[in-house]
């Protein structure tokens, strides 16, 4: 089996690569025998200390470049994780760039799949940013997508394309709407939701952090480990398990900033949590507080996707990675 990961240099791409190497690739259904010949990671840049393995290949370049895609998909690709994206605040700041990467490059990737000898399985990472505006108290599997940011709009368009390409038999796609990933490792990025990781990660690292939203603000979150599990489950589930609807709200847990900070006090002490200072940022607030924080995810639950137990488990998992 040959696997391509776009955005393979990002933190999620690297974690996914590590998981794929550890489990020896992917299976045709959850629990079946895995198989891996080559894992091709595509991105504009790769971090120092990137995952290395004899089965891993790295390709540097722009995923919007059709020649590069042609090359990384040759001669035959069985599974694709399309993670490459400009994040929420980035796509809001640069309208053209957002559409170029989040729409055009996604389409190029789907077209590359269409040219394959057999339709590859593909996972498209969508987001809670698909929702916004006048929402029901609890978002469920039937709630209409109503994005209120360019990033959300681009993700919804990607979902529609995944469904249409799948219906036509050009790929076997699965679009997973991920909650906000917390605790995101590494440096802050331009994701509007990035502060929710920052207010935990930076204090644990002995650094100060700014929280741009009020303590009562709630978010729908998922740990990086569970996010990687979700992407792998999404691609390993057989097509019949998905049926015609290839878009899924992944499970998560509802956590307020206040609850996250209380858990930080409990697990790391008052002095750690005291490193967080509140300084409201209306632009961040507008994007993030428009996202829903309460979901029921019956379909994902039935398909065996799992969220985290709570914020304490999430912080503990992050603290364990720091000790390695």
Provide the binding-site residues for a second copy, judged by CB under 8 A: 95, 133-134, 142-148, 150, 153, 156-157, 160-161, 163-164, 167-168, 170, 244-245
Contact 229, 306 (CB under 8 A): yes
Give the C-alpha separation, 177 to 321, whole Å.
25
Contact 261, 276 (CB under 8 A): yes
Which tokens in the block code for residue 89? 């605040």
Angular region, 232: left φ>0, alpha ψ -120 to 50, beta rest: alpha
Q: Given the complex with a second copy, which of 36 and 153 has the nearer CB atom?
A: 153
Strands 218-222 and 253-256: antiparallel
Shortest separation between residue 142's beta carbon and a second copy, angstroms? 6
C-alpha count within 13 angstroms, C-beta hemisphere, residue 128: 31
Shortest separation between residue 53's beta carbon and a second copy, angstroms? 37
The residues, ordered by sequence, that sit 6+ positions from 57 with a Cβ below 8 Å of its Cβ are: 38, 39, 40, 41
Contact 11, 185 (CB under 8 A): yes
C-alpha count within 13 angstroms, C-beta hemisphere, residue 125: 27
Q: Given the complex with a second copy, which of 168 and 320 has the nearer CB atom?
A: 168
Give the C-alpha separation, 114 to 9, whole Å.
24
Contact 1, 35 (CB under 8 A): yes
Note if 151 is an active site residue.
yes
Residue bearing tokens 């389409």: 107
Residue bearing tokens 């006090």: 265
Which tokens in the block code for residue 182? 């917390």
Give the C-alpha separation, 146 to 131, whole Å.
5
Q: Which residues are catalytic?
A: 151
């Amino acid at each position: 089996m040959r696997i391509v990961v776009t955005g393979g240099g990002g933190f999620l791409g690297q974690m996914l690569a590590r998981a794929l190497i550890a489990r020896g690739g992917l299976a045709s259904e959850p629990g079946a025998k895995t198989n891996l010949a080559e894992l091709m990671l595509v991105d504009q840049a790769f971090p120092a200390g990137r995952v290395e393995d004899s089965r891993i290949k790295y390709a540097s370049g722009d995923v919007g470049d059709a020649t590069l895609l042609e090359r990384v998909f040759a001669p035959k690709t069985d599974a694709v994780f399309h993670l490459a994206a400009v994040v929420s605040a980035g796509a809001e700041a640069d309208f053209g760039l957002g559409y170029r990467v989040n729409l055009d490059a996604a389409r190029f990737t789907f077209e590359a799949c269409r040219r394959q000898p057999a339709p590859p399985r593909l996972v498209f990472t969508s987001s809670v940013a698909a929702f916004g505006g006048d929402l029901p108290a609890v978002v469920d599997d039937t709630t209409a997508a109503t994005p209120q940011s360019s990033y959300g709009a681009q993700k919804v368009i990607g979902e529609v394309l995944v469904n249409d390409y799948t219906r036509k038999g050009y790929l076997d796609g699965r679009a997973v709407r991920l909650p906000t990933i917390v605790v995101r490792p590494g440096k802050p990025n331009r994701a509007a939701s990035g502060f929710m990781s920052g207010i935990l990660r930076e204090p644990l690292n002995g650094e100060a952090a700014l929280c741009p939203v009020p303590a009562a603000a709630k978010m729908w979150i998922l740990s990086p480990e569970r996010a990687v599990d979700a992407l792998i489950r999404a691609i390993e589930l057989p097509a019949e398990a998905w049926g015609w609807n290839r878009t899924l709200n992944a499970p998560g847990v509802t956590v307020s900033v206040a609850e996250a900070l209380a858990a930080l006090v409990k697990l790391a002490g008052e002095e750690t949590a005291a490193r967080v200072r509140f300084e409201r940022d209306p632009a961040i607030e507008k994007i993030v507080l428009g996202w829903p924080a309460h979901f029921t995810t019956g379909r994902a639950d039935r398909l065996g996707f799992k969220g985290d137990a709570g914020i304490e488990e999430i912080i503990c998992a992050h603290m364990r990675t720091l000790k390695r």
